[in-house]
Structure 1
Amino acid sequence: MSLTVLQAMHDPFLFGAEFDNPTWTAWEAFLAALLGEAMTDEQKAICATHTGRTDLPLETFRRAALICGRRAGKSRVLALLGTCLATLKDYRPFLSAGEVATVGIIAADRKQARTIFRYVRGLISLVPEMEEEVTRETDEIIEMAGRRVVIEIGTASFRATRGYTYAAVLCDEIAFWRDDSSANPDEEILRALRPGLATIPGSMLLLASSPYARRGVLWKTFKRYYGQKGANTLVWKAATRDMNPEFDKQEERDAYEEDPAAAAAEYGAEFRSDIASFVAPEVVEACTVQGRHELPRDSRVRYVAFVDPSGGSSDSMTLAIAHHENDCAVLDLVRERKAPFSPEATVSDFASVLKSYGLSSVTGDRYGGEWPREQFRKHGITYNLSDKPRSDLYRDLLPLLNSGKAELLDIPVLSRQLCGLERRTGRSGKDNIDHAPGGHDDVANAVAGALLMQRARRMPKFTPAMVQKIAEQGKRESFSVWAR
């Protein structure tokens, strides 16, 4: 007789030693709701609280979203589900010759995905019969050839997730997925996953994360399905201590005192209202000149340049060159040197590019103290300090983009980084604009600096002495017309 997940959870010969504790009561209610099993009155009340529904059907949900605070236990529950789906079901009738059923564990990176993978490995090791079925194992794969099942780690990339036949996909911390190949990685990845889930009847897609900003797949799933009668996707929303009563109360209190908005998301499972996307993708697209990747130097044009320095070990070092034309800031060139790289060699390369555009100076931030100035000086380039931090550069760039008075190059990384910027409201009420957690903005920073430098230099500044001289020359009228 086949076992259910809840039965396996409490079976002393399977996983009972790991989950036979009253602190798992709320998770048992979640599993009963997910799998369409009969519930006690207590479990029904818990489900109503965390799903906003009283009409849960007695059938398994194939899609579910777990929106829970950190340390609530969601990774361990995903591991339990993944292990049971890999070992307690037979997918062979649905597989073609040579095909295997995959239980995919996907996170922002492989290191994070290994958390659930290790839990899975630990659960399998508790059961000798399951352990004997493992025919191959690495740091990222557990293969059971007899069952034709593979448990495998994946990363948040729509390219890497294609081509599999999935029995289940466990998506961990999906609110924080970032991918260099897409401005909306969570949506692209789920779109790539769906065909692989269609082959096996009863395949499951499970999204789990503490919440973040009010955007992306997790937010859209919550808005569409939470509390909706008859919805075919189960959305479970719960604070940390609702699911894990043993979590340290003092740790939670300290977090709320330090940053209430962040703590409400981290431990209260509330989507943040103080974070919003900075610029709409449609605006960036409208400013991008399709097919234009770089403009050659024009001897009639006066250029400016902005650099975002880096030490070469983690962040990219970037350079942008721009000019002004017909009341529009035009981006001419972007260079990015990805880490790891030699900072000295990169400065040398950038200096050559600057000179090829007739430039003998470049502007950048205060990163590295004297180092950038000294290195550029060696190559005959003056390094000027920007009078604005990057957050202010982005703030001043937005009107330029919204008004369509900027021409951007058709460079995907630039579009992704601009679209990935976030506006955060601090306790003081002041907005701060920066990349999202795990994201990058090195290219966007250099481009914003260059476009705004050129904008500032569009018209010469007249001192009072210059105005007086023009007046003395009898050119008041022409100056007035010109100034208008």
Structure 2
Amino acid sequence: MTDPNLFGSFFKDGHSWARWRVLLKAIFALPFDQGDLAVFRRLTGRKEVPTESAREAWLIVGRRGGKSFCVSLIAVFLACFRDYSNHLAPGERGTVMVLAADRRQARVIFRYISALLNLVPMLAAMIERLTAESIDLANGITIEIHTASFRSVRGYTVVAALCDEIAFWQDETSANPDREILDAIRPAMATIPGALLLCIGTPYRRAGVLYEAFDRHYGKDGDPVLVVRASSRTMNPTLPKEVVAAAYERDPAAAAAEYGAHFRDDVTGFLDLAWINAAVEAGVPERPPREGIAYRAFADPSGGRADAFTLAMGHSEGERRIVDACRVVRPPFDPSAVVAEFAAVLRAYHCRTVTGDRYAGEWVTEAFRRHGIEYRAADRSKSDIYLETLPLFSAGGVVLPDLPQLTAELRALERQTRRGGRDIVDHPPRGHDDLANAACGALWLCAREQDVPILDLSINWDLRRPSAFMRSNIA
């Protein structure tokens, strides 16, 4: 960071990068200068100076704190200045893997890495091949970007893994993508001495691997897993105070997470995982229509650009509310064609009406009308529908089809208490709940049509204990 022949020109303002310099020393167990120990203790909660390089480093830092650039510096150092040849088979390449929620986000770090390599002549000479998503170096190391999927990280020998904004990773087919990805990466690093798992992120709710790392390893002397927690201005004193102050004024809870690096207390999981697991009818992705059943339908329309267009069919049997079938069409698509497809499903289930989002455009009503289907706008918001289905899940009165995307979306739903005490239920940032919305809408309709008592939103319900529930198999 100080050598003019390497990265000195990138860190001319030494004061603003001083705390990052201390963290880099801590990660690689380099000697501390006078004053470094106090900074280290403040950022890590530890008392003793590290004597060995970290096996894993978790950097919980507020937004605009400089974490992406410093992580890129670490990646270049590990890729260019360490010799892994004794640990790679002939023809095998070691990989520095950059993972993020999507490729666009991963490219931010990748561009930093590319600049650090190309702007230093000594390192630029090492580049053998450069593409939009990978850099092959002459020493047998490849730097690649990947999306956060456990399927995409297998089959590599990983010398370093950089996991960006890990608190916000989402996967429509997995309830715990962060944990599954790390479970796939760690074995890929096992044969490389000095391999480093580097996870960075702005904190969110008290769940997931980022929070678990903080809870288990923060402040633990001698632990090979180093956890850092620091506010944005602690790591980047050039960030204007007024920007942070304005954020706190607008939304104190959100600003405390985004700039203060505190995990949120006002956001929790909505449905108990045990309730969801008990509701899923294993091996039954769909129930065909039957005569004599009054089916209800709920749709979550979309214009075909960002969100999926979804439909769920449901019915009641005694005290049970059953989701029989779900349909999901992901963008891009022709909305009129999807309406025609869904209308055919509705007719198959002898259903001539469908309820849906009250904020949907008039085109939805007209599109269904052309196929002989009446579209009715729900008299509840999406959040209220979720809240009103909560007692159905807690009582064990829900039957769901065995659809991984549906269960993943239900598990990811979050409950947030807003100022004034009102609870809001929605998907997490960068997530989706289109299928969960349709399914819960169908359950809500079934409960309402049967005059089943549902949640009184004026009561502060505590429904954390699911009642015992046994379900017989139905053909």
Fold shared per TM-score above 0.5: yes
Q: Is the 8 A contact 1:277 1:420 kept in 2?
A: yes
What code does the residue aligned with 1:108 have? Answer: A
The match for 1:402 among 394, 397, 401 is 394
Pairwise CA distance, 1:229: 2.7
Deviations along 1:198-252, one digit per CA (max 9) or x if unpaired, are 1210000011001011100000000001112332211111001111111111111
Structure 2 counterpart of 1:50: 43
Pairwise CA distance, 1:460: 10
User: Are 1:202 and 2:177 counterparts?
Assistant: no
Structure 1 counterpart of 2:414: 422
Structure 2 counterpart of 1:40: 33
Structure 1 counterpart of 2:241: 249
The match for 2:176 among 170, 184, 188 is 184
Deviations along 1:433-472, one digit per CA (max 9) or x if unpaired, are 00001111111111111111111112599xxxxxxxxxxx
Gaps in structure 1 of 5+ consecutive residues: 1-8, 462-484
Structure 2 counterpart of 1:85: 78
Identity %, equivalent residues: 47
Deviations along 1:89-142, one digit per CA (max 9) or x if unpaired, are 111111001111111111111111111111111111222121111110011101
Distance 1:38 1:132 in 2: 30
Structure 1 counterpart of 2:7: 15
- Superposed, which structure 2 residues align to 1:147-296 within 5 Å? 147-296=139-288
Pairwise CA distance, 1:356: 1.0
Structure number, greater radius of gyration = 1
The match for 1:28 among 17, 21, 33 is 21
Q: Is the 8 A contact 1:61 1:232 kept in 2?
A: yes
What code does the residue aligned with 2:89 have? Answer: S
Q: Is the 8 A contact 1:348 1:379 kept in 2?
A: yes
Distance 1:34 1:57 in 2: 8
Distance 1:162 1:435 in 2: 28
Q: Is the 8 A contact 2:127 2:135 kept in 1?
A: yes
Structure 2 counterpart of 1:466: none
CA RMSD of aligned residues (A): 1.2
Q: Is the 8 A contact 2:166 2:199 kept in 1?
A: yes
Distance 2:173 2:452 in 1: 41
Q: TM-score, normalised by structure 2?
A: 0.94
Pairwise CA distance, 1:54: 1.1
Q: Against the structure 1 CA distance between its residues 130 and 459, is the aligned structure 2 distance closer, same or farther, given a 3 Å change threshold?
A: closer
Q: Is the 8 A contact 2:53 2:224 kept in 1?
A: no
What code does the residue aligned with 1:421 have? Answer: L
Q: TM-score, normalised by structure 1?
A: 0.92
Distance 1:205 1:116 in 2: 15
Deviations along 1:337-391, one digit per CA (max 9) or x if unpaired, are 1111110011111111111111111111123332111111111111111111110
Paired positions, count: 452
Q: Stretches of 4+ moved more than 3 A in 1?
A: none
Structure 2 counterpart of 1:303: 295
Gaps in structure 2 of 5+ consecutive residues: 454-475
Structure 1 counterpart of 2:444: 452
Q: Is the 8 A contact 2:172 2:409 kept in 1?
A: no
User: Are 1:63 and 2:63 counterparts?
Assistant: no
Q: Is the 8 A contact 1:309 1:367 kept in 2?
A: no
